[in-house]
Amino acid sequence: MSLLAQLNDALSDVIGGAQKSVVQIRDGRAGQGAGTIWHADGLIVTNAHVAHRSPLEVVLPDGRTISASVIARDDERDLAALAVEANGLPTIQPGDSRRLHAGQWVMAVGHPWGILNAVTGGIVIGVGKQMPDLRVFTQDWVVADLHLRPGNSGGPMIDTGGRLIGVNTLMTGPSVGAAVAVDVVKDFLKRAFNGASVRIETQNRPQWV
Q: 209 in a domain, yes or no?
A: no
Tell whether 37 and 81 lie within a shared domain.
yes
Tell whether 149 and 172 lie within a shared domain.
yes
Choosing from 39, 41, 140, 153, the catalytic residue is 153
- Distance, in Å, from the CA atom of 171 to the CA atom of 178, rounded to the nearest integer, reads 6
Domain boundaries, position 120: 97-185
Choosing from 41, 78, 140, 183, the catalytic residue is 78
- Buried b / exposed e along 105-124 (16+ C-beta atoms within 10 A): ebbbbbbbeeeebbbbbbeb
Q: 45 in a domain, yes or no?
A: yes
Residue 61's identity, in one-letter code, is P
Tell whether 85 and 121 lie within a shared domain.
no
**For residue 158, what is the domain's CATH number?**
2.40.10.10
Three-state DSSP state, 209: coil
Choosing from 39, 49, 74, 140, the catalytic residue is 49
Q: 70 in a domain, yes or no?
A: yes
Do residues 121 and 106 make contact, with C-beta atoms less than 8 angstroms apart? yes
Q: What is the pLDDT along the chain (209 residues), one digit of tens a residue?
A: 688 787 788 888 999 999 999 999 998 776 689 999 999 999 999 999 999 888 899 999 999 999 999 999 999 899 999 999 999 999 999 999 889 999 999 999 999 988 999 999 999 999 987 665 555 566 789 999 999 999 999 999 999 999 999 999 998 877 899 999 999 999 999 988 875 444 444 444 444 33
Q: 205 in a domain, yes or no?
A: no
Tell whether 79 and 115 lie within a shared domain.
no
The count of domains in the chain is: 2
| R_g of the chain computed on alpha carbons | 16
Q: 181 in a domain, yes or no?
A: yes
Q: Judge whether 49 counts as a catalytic residue.
A: yes
Q: What are phi and psi of 8, to 5 degrees?
A: -60, -45
Q: Which residues contact 138 (CB under 8 A, 6 or more apart)?
A: 76, 129
Instruction: Report the pLDDT value the prediction gives residue 159, as an integer from 0 to 100.
Output: 96
DSSP secondary structure code for residue 94 in this structure:
B
Q: Judge whether 78 counts as a catalytic residue.
A: yes
Tell whether 74 and 106 lie within a shared domain.
no
Instruction: Report the pLDDT value the prediction gives residue 118, as an integer from 0 to 100.
Output: 94
Q: Judge whether 21 counts as a catalytic residue.
A: no
Tell whether 101 and 180 lie within a shared domain.
yes
Q: 154 in a domain, yes or no?
A: yes
Tell whether 101 and 165 lie within a shared domain.
yes
Instruction: Report the pLDDT value the prediction gives residue 199, as an integer from 0 to 100.
Output: 45
Tell whether 173 and 107 lie within a shared domain.
yes
Tell whether 116 and 80 lie within a shared domain.
no
Four-residue CA torsion sign, 109, 159, 107, 135: positive
Q: 108 in a domain, yes or no?
A: yes
Q: 9 in a domain, yes or no?
A: no
Degrees (nearest 5) of the Cα angle 126, 111, 39?
Answer: 75
